[in-house]
Structure 1
Amino acid sequence: MAPAWAQSPLGARSRPSHSRPVPTAAPCLPPRKLRRTVAASAAPKGAATRAAPAVPPTAPSSSASSARPAAFSLVETQGGTERDLLASTSSSPATRTPATPSPLSTADLVHGDPSGTAPSSAVLALAALPDTLKDLFLPPGFPSTVTPDYLPYQLWSMPTHITGHLSHSLVTSSLLSAVGVSAGPAATVALSASIKWIVKDGVGALGRLIVGSRFSAEFDEDPRRWRMVAEALSTAGLGLEVATVAAPQHFLLLACAGKFCQALGKGMGKPVFRVIQTHFARAQNVGAVAAKEEVWEVTAQMLGLVASVAALRALEGTGSYEAVIGSWAAVQAVHVTLRYKALTTLLFTSLSPKRTALLASAWVRGQRPLPNARAVATEEPVLGDSTSVRPHVVLGCTAAEAFGGVLPQDESALLSYARLYDNERYWLVWRDDTAHVVLKEGCDQSDWLRAMWQAAWLDHHSAKPGQGQGQEAGVAEAGPSGRNGNGTRASGEGAEALVKEAGGGPSALEVASVAALEGAGGFGEFLAALEGAGWEAGVVHMQPGKARLRVGLAA
């Protein structure tokens, strides 16, 4: 006997709909002080409340020909335009602005050490230092007022800053040699400021303008990756500048191009640095963390200047630009390595696409409890983007993009997805081992997480090598009782009927994934497990596309 969800027509699933209203914009609250606005106490543990369906479910019918209600409408908005998906032509451009997702509200989280380990040896060693040194370098209340990864990051950043200043000094020496100025320590100190002012002002401002206009929330989403991108741009810029000593006839071109690359790197590095500082401020003490950061950096700068003078004196007698370039390359390689090592110590507890994908995949594979921030940090690729982990999710795409670039010729496919996702604020089309998520108007961060969980479920239950495709994948994953791990049936007469009614719409596997959201071990339990593992389920950094779908009744 198939379960109730498989027996019901696609538009009349037996599970009750929930009554969460579409949220309106809420005032910005501190991430660690967010509270739930849903009536969690009225729902069973692990259950997730959902919005009321935009269109009332259709009544059960023995005929699949009654799939489309007469007043059913699907309108896609993007920018200032609207498009009726059920019509052959687009409507005139609309003037209203698409809905903006509102922040997810969630319960206060209990924040302990995300690593779940005892104090590190570095913390214990600092306890023996004089109070004057601790007050100089560490924020008040250390270590309880900062995150556990604060000190490891600073210890690795110190030599990073030193090598950075040394690298810049060697580059300045090359610039001076290229224009025929003595490259000794005294001349370097006296003229380096003049060289910088000449070549960097206009070009550097242009680079910062490009970064500021193009990038914004990407830095919150993946600060470690963007910091390494900034480091790569800075290294390229320094390499162009140091090359001026070998090609002085192209001094202006190389110096300006180098400063432009460095400006791009600096434009990315500064906002990422602010993200990291905010992350450290566990007690909302951003000012104290920033003040102590200055102490760390100035101390490293002084040591770097001493090392620079020593290196320049050693290179002064050689008279060979090859020695300068070789020394710079070695120092810069050490600098980039130290930067990478410092970034790997960061333990972010917010939810980004990569971290959410790793956590959702671990959950659907049956990993209990969920990994904490330290475990995920070791698995999360620092240099890779969201496509470097599974599942692959395209969040906020258009309906045409979801179906492969062209809308289905048979509108019953669209209507089948509309009925399947009548209780959700998105559609998910599983195609080419990728989840294409069409977001509805009024969606929020909880819906993004919900779609990511469903994508992980589909990725886990999709066909493996040697198995069939589509619904057969669900059959292969079923246990001896014919049920998947969440208690839903992925095959059988009920699923077959749903696929036939869909008429080219959702597959049986997609139907089962929607049922799995509310089943045992579903999305609600996943959210509770996230909080139990120390993750901030209310702090979601994702960048969905701007297309939105409006599902409703035609006038």
Structure 2
Amino acid sequence: MEKDTSLVLATEKYGCGESWRYLVKDGAMERKRDGSEGGTRGSSVVGVFKSVFLPQGYPESVSDDYLQYQFWDTVQAFSSSLSGTLATQASLKGVGVGNQEATVAAATVTWLLRDGTGMLGRILFAWRKGSKLDSEAKKWRLFADVLNDIAMFMEILAPNFPACFTLIVCTAGIFKSIVGVAGGATRAALTVHQARRDNMADISAKDGSQETLVNLAGLLISLVLIPLVTDNPLLTLSLFLLFTILHLYANYKAVRSVVMETFNEARLSIVLHQYLRDGRILSPVEANQREPVFLEFRKTVPVKLGVRLKEVVQSPEELNLALKNNNMPFLLSVKNGCVCVCLGPEASVGDEIRAVCQAVCLSSSLHPEAPLTGASQQPLIQKRQSHWEMVCDSHKLMDQIFNPFLKGVEAAGWQINRTLLDWDEWRVEWKAKSS
């Protein structure tokens, strides 16, 4: 076998893919690929597909959970596209398409009312819940898809109730407007998580390309489905239920596959409780697997962050109690069944994490059925007659555990330079404890 005596002038690489060498052979420079498999991005069918539908620099330019999330997101988008076709066909039938007695004016009024109520719903939902969509992106993403299926189910049933048709489609329009806000906002939040090279725009654009391809495939299949389901409500409903089940399952798997490395209240609470039980710090993967993805409408002792001073203390005496054993730039109290946290303007991200840890400990200690316990199964904060005594005990507990806890979570791979904790905008400067 003849030995290659060519001189290597340089090597180059495209991301983690192909590697090439520049050689000098017979006085000329040649470019030769290392190995025999693959091809340059864009020079083969697979390469073209990656170039069109995946972000530049994939997989280094995105988070580790990107591919799994996008797979399930594609499945849910495909099933949603087919369900949407069935709902649209039912809506058109309901407004009179194909009915010679129906008037254009009546159909137009119904459509305008549906769109108008949807616009109002969009504005109101963004006003009431817009700040929650970052901190609980997974919950609201799943909520949006469930609500979307409910809206489409209402549209399919609406033609069977002609007297209430306008009311039903307007209600469905409100639901879909909420879906648009919640789905779009949480998609943006997940894009921030996936972008590892400040490439949010590229990831968002490629995500749009993937969704367009899926919708095109759904459109082609819909051309076959529509003649089959026309004038066959039982088949329409059966197919809709089938696509809905697939849609909800794919959405659940999609949000479960997301591994956020930043703390929200749920993830921080999960990691803190594990640390208090046995001293172990959960990794982002472990904590995300335990994080609830369904909205919880009842909390025994909810936590309110960044509140006004009057929600924490109502008198100078209570301010002195809030400052007892407290040299941190935040105040805590238990008022009206809530743990309230008032934040100072000089508070750092570490202070914010500590404040939420302390609030979570207080909330758990006040739980009537599952109080906060340590490795010895003894309560870490004893229940007392005065909530202020429990607040004081919580300061002492944080003084003991917080610094090693913070070092541990950073070593485990959590980001502590920023958080997704749901702080309101109130910031208060208070005078020191009076003598």
With normalisation by structure 2, the TM-score equals 0.75
Partner of 1:393: 303
**Aligned equivalents of 2:182, 2:322: Cα separation in 1:** 40
Q: Aligned AA for 1:365?
A: R
Quote how far apart the aligned CAs of 1:473 are: 11
Quote how far apart the aligned CAs of 1:511 are: 3.6
**Aligned equivalents of 1:350, 1:180: Cα separation in 2:** 51
Q: 1:229 aligns with which of 143, 148, 161?
A: 143
Q: Which has the higher helix share?
A: 2
Q: 1:533 aligns with which of 409, 412, 422?
A: 412
Contact 2:144 2:178 in 1 (8 A): yes
Partner of 2:15: none
Change (3 A) 1:140 1:454: same
Q: What secondary structure, in the 3-state scheme, does the structure 2 residue paired with 1:552 have?
A: coil
Change (3 A) 1:251 1:514: closer
Partner of 2:118: 204
Partner of 1:298: 212
Partner of 1:384: 295
Partner of 2:3: none
Correspondence 1:448 to 2:333: no
Quote how far apart the aligned CAs of 1:166 are: 0.7
Correspondence 1:366 to 2:278: yes
**Aligned equivalents of 2:397, 2:198: Cα separation in 1:** 38
Change (3 A) 1:137 1:367: farther
Deviations 1:365-422 (A, max 9, x none): 2332x2122111110000134976x98533334566558xxx58xx64542332322x
Deviations 1:493-523 (A, max 9, x none): xxxxxx9xxx96742x54443233333xx21
Q: 1:335 aligns with which of 237, 243, 247?
A: 247
Change (3 A) 1:199 1:299: farther
Quote how far apart the aligned CAs of 1:244 are: 2.1
Change (3 A) 1:204 1:399: closer
Q: Aligned AA for 2:94?
A: A
Partner of 1:148: 64
Correspondence 1:516 to 2:402: no
Cα RMSD after superposing both structures: 3.9
**Aligned equivalents of 2:54, 2:375: Cα separation in 1:** 54
Where do 1:245-256 residues align within 5 Å? 245-256=159-170
Change (3 A) 1:391 1:179: closer
Which one scores higher on RCO, CA 8 angstroms, separation ≥ 6? 1
Quote how far apart the aligned CAs of 1:320 are: 3.2
Quote how far apart the aligned CAs of 1:207 are: 2.4
Quote how far apart the aligned CAs of 1:529 are: 1.6
**Aligned equivalents of 1:230, 1:541: Cα separation in 2:** 20
Partner of 2:34: none
Contact 2:110 2:166 in 1 (8 A): no
Where do 1:441-520 residues align within 5 Å? 441-457=345-361, 477=378, 506-507=388-389, 510-519=391-400
Partner of 1:92: none
Q: Aligned AA for 1:158?
A: T
Change (3 A) 1:362 1:150: same
Quote how far apart the aligned CAs of 1:150 are: 0.6
Q: What secondary structure, in the 3-state scheme, does the structure 2 residue paired with 1:437 have?
A: strand
**Aligned equivalents of 2:181, 2:125: Cα separation in 1:** 6
Q: Aligned AA for 1:151?
A: L
Partner of 1:259: 173
Quote how far apart the aligned CAs of 1:201 are: 3.6
**Aligned equivalents of 2:166, 2:297: Cα separation in 1:** 39
Change (3 A) 1:424 1:302: same
**Aligned equivalents of 1:401, 1:420: Cα separation in 2:** 20
Correspondence 1:427 to 2:327: no
Q: Aligned AA for 1:525?
A: P
Contact 2:74 2:211 in 1 (8 A): yes
Deviations 1:320-374 (A, max 9, x none): 3233233323322321221222111111111111111111222222332x21221
Q: Aligned AA for 1:204?
A: G
Where do 1:259-298 residues align within 5 Å? 259-298=173-212
Change (3 A) 1:135 1:196: farther
Change (3 A) 1:429 1:134: same
Q: Aligned AA for 1:395?
A: L
Q: Aligned AA for 1:450?
A: R
**Aligned equivalents of 1:552, 1:137: Cα separation in 2:** 57
Quote how far apart the aligned CAs of 1:306 are: 1.9
Q: Aligned AA for 2:174?
A: F
Partner of 2:8: none
Identity %: 22
Q: Aligned AA for 1:424?
A: M
**Aligned equivalents of 2:376, 2:251: Cα separation in 1:** 48
**Aligned equivalents of 1:201, 1:223: Cα separation in 2:** 26
Correspondence 1:321 to 2:225: no
Quote how far apart the aligned CAs of 1:232 are: 2.9
Q: Aligned AA for 2:431?
A: G
Q: Aligned AA for 1:513?
A: S
Q: What secondary structure, in the 3-state scheme, does the structure 2 residue paired with 1:130 have?
A: helix
Structure 1, gaps ≥5 residues long = 1-126, 184-192, 479-483, 485-489, 492-498
Structure 2, gaps ≥5 residues long = 1-40, 100-106
Change (3 A) 1:440 1:248: same
Quote how far apart the aligned CAs of 1:462 are: 7.7
**Aligned equivalents of 2:297, 2:154: Cα separation in 1:** 31
**Aligned equivalents of 2:387, 2:169: Cα separation in 1:** 58
Quote how far apart the aligned CAs of 1:456 are: 4.7
Change (3 A) 1:457 1:315: closer
Q: What secondary structure, in the 3-state scheme, does the structure 1 residue paired with 2:351 have?
A: helix
Deviations 1:106-157 (A, max 9, x none): xxxxxxxxxxxxxxxxxxxxx9982222222211111111001110011111
**Aligned equivalents of 2:323, 2:341: Cα separation in 1:** 13
Quote how far apart the aligned CAs of 1:180 are: 4.1
**Aligned equivalents of 1:465, 1:343: Cα separation in 2:** 30
Quote how far apart the aligned CAs of 1:433 are: 9.2
Q: Aligned AA for 1:372?
A: S
**Aligned equivalents of 1:463, 1:266: Cα separation in 2:** 36
